Amino acid sequence: MGMTMTQKILARAAGLDRVEAGALIEGRLDLVLGNDITAPVAIREFEKAGLHQVFDRERIAIVLDHSTPCKDIKSAQLCAVCRDFAKAHQITHFYDVGEMGVEHALLPEKGLAAPGEVIIGADSHTCTYGALGAFSTGVGSTDMAAGMATGLAWFRVPTAIQVKLTGALGPYVSGKDLILHLIGRIGVDGALYQSLEFCGDGIASLEMDDRFTICNMAIEAGAKNGIFPVDERTLDYLKGRVERPYTPVEADPDAVYTQVIEIDLSKLRPTVALPHLPSNTRTVDEAAGKPIQQVVIGSCTNGRLKDLREAAAILRGKKVADGVRCIVIPATQQIYLDAMAEGLIADFIQAGVAVSTPTCGPCLGGHMGVLSDNEWAITTTNRNFVGRMGPTSSMVILASPAVAAASALTGVVTDPATI
Ligand code: SF4
């Protein structure tokens, strides 16, 4: 019986020839990640356990992205804990204000994730790096602490769902629509503790930014990880970013899947998720006309250059509707620079958009766009749970950058094809 991509990576990390789904293994870690909310908890655990040394200062990343530039005294104190630890342990990949970006956009950009690697992060959207053919998954802060000390973590080897993609995406349809469609089909627990393994000739048409978005939201279907095979596009992306050797894996032809889901990309429509679950999906036509007060385009899901290009193409030369606040947040400093060089930032500002320095900010109701009572937002983020961006009476609709931008122009949920 063959192994899936994830099983092969975990077997290698555990020093085994093969692993079976359900087995408990201890694997070597290539990278351990934390942010300004989770790293302080891990640091406290690390110190409480009397640990004095990290396993490898090159293999730990701490990114101050959630509440930075610090929004209040508490967030400033949490960041100070991270700074002190990073300095004491000479953590190579420590990203503070001015250098940081939203972690799951920043790490691939900096070449800190590569095919076949095992990455844990004290953040549920660590699954993003599966777009590069890595096994990456979110863990708790205690696991992060243990990982920082030992370079090891235990895993239960997951079963897998195979998602077979055919065709190519149509106009105004992106990776976000694909993943929302998939979550709508299988539910928020449809892939519980399983790998979502993508395959099929449709993959070739997906840009890397689409693949990052898709893997980013694997956790919203309950998946342990999402993963793409490595192809020419992946190798192109890695060129000039990753100098160390890496070894991609392929699923065995006789790998076992609990389920095979087929998606013809050419049949997908722009898709949104209504409150309060990412699985509460509708095509944009079904949701069209719903009034919104705020639009957010950014986050680890959709704050990359392709996302900003798609949004700018719709907003260029037009004005955000009266009564709508539109916020665009490039996910990293490099994306911000690239967007500026392409004139996208000017497009946004001229359209009446507020452009922010990279931060998670409004995605988790932190700052830079918290909602008020009974307000509705359409956002390119990944969660629309009760109270995610403001009080429990506020409502969040998840959408692609194209749908979000089109809605900013009209003040209601809008199909970008109609703009
Ligand atoms: Fe989490 Fe949102 Fe930040 Fe992504 S952008 S890491 S989902 S808070």
Check residue 389 and give its pLDDT: 98
List of E strands, 125-267: 135-138, 152-156, 159-166, 194-199, 225-227, 259-264
Contact 380, 176 (CB under 8 A): yes
Q: What pLDDT shows up at residue 303?
A: 98
Phi, psi of 261 (to 5 degrees): -115, 125
Q: How far is ligand 1, taken at its centre, from the CA of residue 360, in Å?
A: 5
**Mean pLDDT score of the chain, rounded to an integer?**
98
Is the per-residue pLDDT at 232 higher than 90?
Answer: yes
Q: Which amino acid is at 70?
A: C
Indicate if ligand 1 lies below 6 Å from the C-beta of 75: no
Confidence of residue 343 (pLDDT cuts 50, 70, 90): very high
Q: Is 363 in the pocket of ligand 1 (CB under 6 A)?
A: yes
In the prediction, which pLDDT does 1 show?
85
Over range 252-276, report the average pLDDT. Answer: 98
Q: What is the predicted pLDDT for the residue at 124?
A: 98
Give tens-digit pLDDT for 181-213.
999 999 999 999 999 999 999 999 999 999 999
Structure tokens that stand for 151 in this block: 């370079």
Using a 6 Å cutoff on CB, does residue 39 contact ligand 1?
no
pLDDT tens column, 394-414: 999 999 999 999 999 999 999
Residue from 37, 38, 66, 136 whose mutation best tests the ligand 1 pocket (most atoms within 8 A of CB): 66
Task: Look up residue 410 and give its two tokens.
Answer: 């009209």
Spatial CA neighbour of 314 closest among 389, 378, 224, 244: 378
Q: Give residue 73's pLDDT band: very low, low, confident or very high (50, 70, 90).
A: very high
pLDDT at 316: 98
Structure tokens belonging to residue 414: 């809008």
Which ligand 1 atom minimizes the distance to the CA of 363?
Answer: 2
DSSP character at residue 158: P
Task: Kindly indicate the confidence band of residue 72, based on its pLDDT and cuts at 50, 70 and 90.
Answer: very high
Is 117 exposed, middle or buried, given 0-12, 13-18 or 19+ CB atoms closer than 10 A?
Answer: buried
pLDDT over 90, % of the chain:
100
**Residue corresponding to tokens 């490099």:** 334
Ligand 1 atom nearest the C-alpha of 331 is 5
Q: Considering only the C-alpha atoms of the chain, give the largest distance between any 2 of them, rounded to a whole number of Å.
A: 61
What is the end-to-end Cα distance of the chain in Å, rounded? 51
The pick from 65, 356, 360 for probing ligand 1's pocket by mutation, whose C-beta has the most ligand atoms within 8 angstroms, reads: 360
* Tens-digit pLDDT profile for residues 120-159: 999 999 999 999 999 999 999 999 999 999 999 999 999 9
For ligand 1, atom 4, name the residue with the nearest CA.
Answer: 300
Q: Is the pLDDT of residue 180 over 90?
A: yes
Q: Is the CB of 299 under 6 A from ligand 1?
A: yes
Residue nearest to atom 6 of ligand 1 (CA): 300
pLDDT (mean) for 92-114:
98
How large is the average pLDDT for residues 245-266? 98
Burial 154-179 (b: 16+ CB within 10 A, else e): ebebbbbbbbbbeeebeebbbbbbbb
